[in-house]
Amino acid sequence: MEKSLENVEIVTNPDDNHWHEIVEWMAKEVEWPFTHEDLDTWKKSFCGKFWLYVAVVKENKQAIGCVMLMSEPPASGKAEDIVYVVGICSVLGAYYVREEWRKYGVGNTLFSKIMEVTHGSNVALIGEPSMSPRYASKYGFDKMPDYRNDMAIIPTTHIVIPKADPNYILKDINEIDAKKLAIYDSSASMFDRAEYLLNFITSSNCFTKVSPSSVRLAKK
């Protein structure tokens, strides 16, 4: 089969199988920490405001790329709460094309399709740091927040868990006030994502502990 853009179709919010397939490729090629459960979490959390576009080979229906978009309001609903964008912001991420299909226009097509959803509104891009210069020059994503998220893969085979610091108490998620945790999260992320946060940290393969001393920072 000849690799060309003519042999590819873009599917919007496809069935879960396409996401499961692309997650395996992202883990293998770029080691991004997405999981099979993420799609359900996003759908539940951003109902009506979540879009997943997947590039699929017409001949064999194989998923070869994707990009997603979700809308998140500022923490208080006020534009000035966002220091690097203004007003309601859409967040774009999981922008990926399988290595063997790159340079055929698949990525550009996915990006153009997903940007049509925004209707010119503000968009924040969560992407590969090494691609930042290209995202800035090609798509205009040239404004950066004053922080960055770093990811690390740590083998746990020989890890030694230290004794817990007696100055801190760790509790299960069901032992704390979820509202206080959401307030604390919004103070750091600048987004009101309480529903997403709770869905994410209570998913079946997620194990969460909370330090009440941190939650107290959110008291008002």
CATH of the domain at 38: 3.40.630.30
Pairing of strands 209-210, 171-172: antiparallel
Q: How many domains does the chain have?
A: 2
CB contact at 8 A, 90 and 123: yes
Q: Which domain holds residue 32?
A: 5-139
Rounded (10°) angle between helices 16-29 and 38-45:
120
Distance CA 205, CA 43 (A): 17
Q: Spell out the per-residue pLDDT of the chain, length 220, in tens.
A: 688 999 999 999 998 999 999 999 999 999 888 999 999 999 988 877 899 999 999 999 999 999 999 886 555 544 343 333 334 578 899 999 999 999 999 999 999 999 988 887 788 888 888 888 999 998 888 888 777 777 777 888 888 888 878 878 888 888 888 888 888 888 777 777 888 888 888 888 888 888 876 444 333 3
Q: Measured between alpha carbons, how far is residue 212 from residues 19, 116, 170, 178, 215 in Å?
A: 36, 43, 7, 11, 5
Residue type, position 165, single letter: D
Are 121 and 190 within one domain? no
Residue 147 lies in a domain: no
Residue 39 lies in a domain: yes
Are 130 and 176 within one domain? no
For the chain, how many residues are written?
220
Residues in contact with 91: Cβ distance below 8 Å, sequence separation at least 6, in sequence order:
69, 70, 71, 72, 123, 124, 125, 126
SS3 67: strand
Residue 90 lies in a domain: yes
CB contact at 8 A, 57 and 7: yes
Are 108 and 31 within one domain? yes
Residue 155 lies in a domain: no
CB contact at 8 A, 42 and 68: yes
Residue 161 lies in a domain: no
What is the per-residue pLDDT for 109?
Answer: 96
Q: What are phi and psi of 65, to 5 degrees?
A: -175, 165
Are 179 and 132 within one domain? no
The encoded tokens of residue 166 equal 């007696």
Residue 150 lies in a domain: no
Residue 185 lies in a domain: yes
